[in-house]
Amino acid sequence: MARRSGGRRGWSLKDWHWISSAVCLIGMLLFSVTGITLNHAGWIESAPSVESHESSLPQTELDRLANASGTDALPTFFHRWYEDETQNSISSNAEIEWGDYELYVAMPRPGGDSWFSVDLTSGAFYSETTDRGWIAYFNDLHKARNTGFLWSLFIDVFAIASILFTITGLLLLKKYSKGRKSTWPLVLAGFIIPLFAVMGSAHAAENELNVEIPRLSVAEYHAPYLAVWLADERNQRVADIAVWYDVNLKDNEGEKWLKDMRQWWRRSGRMADMPIDGVSGATRRPGTHKVDLTPLLTKLPDLEPGQYYLYVEAAREVGGREMLRLPLSLPIDSPISISETGEHELGRVSLKLEP
């Protein structure tokens, strides 16, 4: 029961402050720690654990499943078969995609991913579950990524409690600031320091390359391999900037498919020792991704003036290949901003550079 101050009924300012702080305590600790892990994600090594399962759907169940093609929910009998076969259940947020010959179901979750496919002709079943570890799990909680309604509700409650905690803290500062001359300068510093940090980040972000990988409506999707490199006006490679491929496959199996990026392979890949330090990385899922420009920025001061081209090439298994070319004149005398948009394997590719 809330205490009464000065003989008056109701909640005091201190009551609201300590109760809101209690509600925020665990959430604030979680968001603070995951803020650090997200900010330094590139420093934290993690080897994802992947489990796969192959089986075959009996012909009777296959016929029933084929008859349910196009529905928004999978039949109850298939849920039972799936649970008996894999010892797992189909999640409530399952994304169901029906094709002419295949059923594909994605079940994203915090810290991992799960999917399965059923060949509607032969009944061949294949599932894959990826676990990226506890750090990835809590990072996804921070971003509310694939977390569901209850976690979303918690974030709303946490946000309201945090606002209440902040406002009551400010009012308490005002109440007890008399005789403490450092109070308001410190409050002002709490505003100015993040402001300058944001301004500095915005300025630094002018040197950036963003690559959009489009979301395609296909039954079988594989994240594309992607290569970014700089070439001179004779199309001779000057510097590799990024190469994304399946770096985690056993015995370097992922390197076998690098030659699908035909232009990059002819200009650079066939002569390179993979992986390339500071350049190689894992494939990316659909979305807009920032490419590390360090290999380019360290090379620019040594390049002769003239015309250059930034190439971005993508190739996807059971898909197509596409390449974009962005012209670049050196030296850079003024800020430049150029972009191109692909038609199928690449979306918008934009480059910003400052002198």
> How many residues are recorded in the chain?
355
Residue 192 confidence (pLDDT): 87
CATH 3.30.160 domain range(s) in the chain? 49-131
**Answer CATH for 49-131 from 3.40.50, 3.30.160, 2.60.40, 3.30.230:** 3.30.160
Position 2 pLDDT exceeds 50: no
Collapsing DSSP states into helix, strand and coil, what is residue 103? strand
Residues 323/313, Cβ–Cβ less than 8 Å: yes
Distance CA(49)–CA(129), nearest Å, equals 8
Q: What's the rounded mean pLDDT across residues 309-321?
A: 86
Q: Token pair of 75, please?
A: 């039949």
Position 7 pLDDT exceeds 80: no
Distance CA(241)–CA(328), nearest Å, equals 15
Q: Token pair of 36, please?
A: 């650090």
Between the alpha carbon of residue 325 and those of residues 200, 313, 342, the distances in Å are: 30, 9, 10
Per-residue model confidence as pLDDT tens digits over 223-281: 889 999 998 888 888 888 889 888 777 667 778 778 888 888 888 887 878 888 778 88
pTM here is: 0.54
Q: What percent of the chain has pLDDT over 90?
A: 16
If one compares 217 and 202, the residue with the highest pLDDT of the two is 217
Torsion angle defined by CA atoms of residues 269, 272, 275 and 277, in that order, rounded to the nearest 10 degrees: -120
Per-residue model confidence as pLDDT tens digits over 83-97: 999 998 998 888 888
Q: What's the rounded mean pLDDT across residues 71-82?
A: 91
Structure confidence at residue 176 as a pLDDT band (50, 70, 90): confident
Q: Token pair of 147, please?
A: 């977390």
Residues 316/195, Cβ–Cβ less than 8 Å: no
Residue 40 confidence (pLDDT): 75
Distance CA(183)–CA(170), nearest Å, equals 10
Q: Token pair of 126, please?
A: 């294949």
Structure confidence at residue 204 as a pLDDT band (50, 70, 90): low
Residue 202 confidence (pLDDT): 55
Distance CA(204)–CA(1), nearest Å, equals 52
